[in-house]
A and B are shown apart, each in its own frame.
Chain A
């Protein structure tokens, strides 16, 4: 199957070559601009990002080498009506995710009812026994979710991944908008776009609303980062800065009087809500990886005793397991009593013999992913892989089938990018950012659009050379 063909939904142009309504205002503006000026602005954007230090460390590159995520200045545009439907679907999904996580760590009704096989939880490293029987403050597990959506048709959005653990990329959503507004201010006076800039304020409020009972009137929120060599350090610093929260590292924290406290110039001060960007495994050397120096010894005990809120809750990673993902339609229905509004991508669970057979027979047409993988690492894209790569992957599949799921190569929608030769369609996905607190679910209009910069490529991950775009939701 050709990765890019007539079946791909072009979000800007209809099959007759006419501009779709979502892009009408933008295209009018775009066509009035001098091509030479647009080229200059395009070059300017890169300089802007370098200067502000928005960089991304890619694992495997030279230690600490910072790379820019390519930014494309053509916005990705969603109409108000499309967005309304999306938000309903996202809300439903996020409610189900939280109910599911609570159930998994308590009575496991969904397993008892026979809708989810017990074996998916047994020996699953993402399932944390330390969370069993414990309910996080406010009952919230996934304080921040970044659901990855792909579009395959005019009215077809599918969920590719739920990212209930630690979704990243929100700083790019904010900076991309800043950059666009700085580069093309008059464009925003002509096309009414819903703002995203109050995300940090909403994040701060949402986190504060999840504070434990022991917190004061103004809960103290801190962002926990693994440090400046982490690939998303820029984002950690950016969010802390925008929220007016402290950016802490494990070495700044210790347990004092039943609380987690940070070493300040005035002494140790307790933290109420810790927005941690450190994986579960590194969070507490006493409970998890004993070699970790990124976390805080004893934080799990304090957490279970109600001394701090950890966002997202430890153990939410189980919901990102790709085998669990394949049960999301059942999960949504089980906890909400409704049909899922957003569809899953059809998924073959290689643990099941008949699925494995199908996957092996059709490897060249499929995308195969590790159940615990993320970031586009360790996956196979059948149509673009060589015979040798396919053969190597077949071996892995046969050796550990339960470690993999497979999905069809989707006809991802395209949005144009700016190239020296003019506009050219490229594949995109969309990651809206969702905040969850006892006071409600809050979805910022837009999100992060990731775009495959190479012609025909379906891989949008920034760790694999993908770029980003500003994502617009139009006002009604």
Chain B
């Protein structure tokens, strides 16, 4: 396949994944803001922006943090390149440029997502219909993923799509942990501390992991358990470990098709081995913040190496 097509499908998947994760993050922020004091809500909205790296750009436009402003900026800010509507637009544009690499169903699902969300986000989103809007974003992303899963040949094209998805997902989960680590930090060593349950809930909700976590832990909120769940639990599809399992299997499939490996494979193997061997105790001793920071950098290096190994550009 063309290097440009590999690039296009990789980024199409990343943009879709990011749009979906942004919707999850907003959902969690919104819930927290509903149930909290004015002050806590403000800091929550700020932390949502920090997580997705949009705080500085937001502050150039707006002076205060409130739900209405922040959600509209993130969902539909025309001059916000990272807004959901712009991300869907980019995903669709990527899909259009690699139209021949997609099945008709994947293209139609992507095109439909763009039409539906663009229309929905053409007008300001009010608190009353925010939930509905976020659900629609998740639903459209699910539709595209379903079409990919159900119709695409399991070849290199599919692998590049999946690699894009899991690089992005791992990055997003890591960013959530990075912003919220201070909530986990003071208490990880204090077993049984009575930190705010609602805050924990937010972290888990941002990755749609609240139910899975409660089910696994019989409802007990334990900071160390949550950190371990999001980083090391391979059963949870948004954990770093799970993303890296998927990355490794897709890269292994490329190795099989190409009959050779490159630097990206080496980097991924090393990073994957680290995740396999570390325990949550070691991560906490090393420093959660430090660990996450290292992870985000290494994740980006792997993405860059994939782009080089497979000639995404000249």
Closest partner residue, chain B, to A233 (CB atom): B96
Are the CB atoms of A53 and B311 closer together than 8 Å?
Answer: no
Are the CB atoms of B6 and A52 closer together than 8 Å?
Answer: no
Contact of B156 (CB < 8 Å), options: A53, A237, A265: A265
| Docked complex Cα distance between A250 and B3 (Å) | 13
| Docked complex Cα distance between A237 and B103 (Å) | 12
A471 nearest CB across to chain B (Å): 23
B307 nearest CB across to chain A (Å): 10
Given A51-B112, A53-B96, A228-B93: A264 touches B104 (CB 8 Å cut-off): no
B2 within 8 A of A: yes
Most buried by B among A247, A249, A265, A266: A265
B10 nearest CB across to chain A (Å): 11
A262 within 8 A of B: yes
Most buried by A among B4, B5, B97, B100: B100
Given A233-B96, A246-B100: A53 touches B107 (CB 8 Å cut-off): yes
Given A228-B93, A241-B100, A263-B314: A246 touches B111 (CB 8 Å cut-off): no
| Docked complex Cα distance between A249 and B313 (Å) | 12
The residues of B that contact A198 with a CB separation of less than 8 Å are none
B258 within 8 A of A: yes
B260 nearest CB across to chain A (Å): 9
Are the CB atoms of B3 and A264 closer together than 8 Å?
Answer: yes
B146 nearest CB across to chain A (Å): 16
B210 within 8 A of A: no
Given A246-B100, A265-B310: A51 touches B108 (CB 8 Å cut-off): yes
Are the CB atoms of A251 and B4 closer together than 8 Å?
Answer: yes
A248 within 8 A of B: yes
Are the CB atoms of A247 and B3 closer together than 8 Å?
Answer: no
The residues of B that contact A233 with a CB separation of less than 8 Å are 96
Are the CB atoms of B6 and A265 closer together than 8 Å?
Answer: yes
B115 within 8 A of A: yes
Given A228-B97, A241-B99: A263 touches B104 (CB 8 Å cut-off): no
B1 within 8 A of A: yes
A188 nearest CB across to chain B (Å): 21
Size range of the chain B interface in the assembly: 20 to 34
The residues of B that contact A453 with a CB separation of less than 8 Å are none
| Docked complex Cα distance between A241 and B108 (Å) | 14
Please, what's the 1-or-0 string for B1-40, where 1 marks a CB less than 8 Å from any CB in chain A?
1111110000000000000000000000000000000000
Are the CB atoms of B111 and A263 closer together than 8 Å?
Answer: no
Closest partner residue, chain B, to A237 (CB atom): B99
Closest partner residue, chain A, to B7 (CB atom): A265
Are the CB atoms of A52 and B111 closer together than 8 Å?
Answer: yes
Closest partner residue, chain A, to B99 (CB atom): A237
Given A50-B115, A252-B3, A264-B1: A237 touches B100 (CB 8 Å cut-off): yes
Are the CB atoms of B99 and A263 closer together than 8 Å?
Answer: no
Q: Could you pull out 10 A-B pairs where Cβ atoms are within 8 angstroms?
A: A51-B108, A51-B111, A237-B100, A240-B100, A245-B100, A247-B2, A249-B4, A263-B2, A264-B3, A265-B258
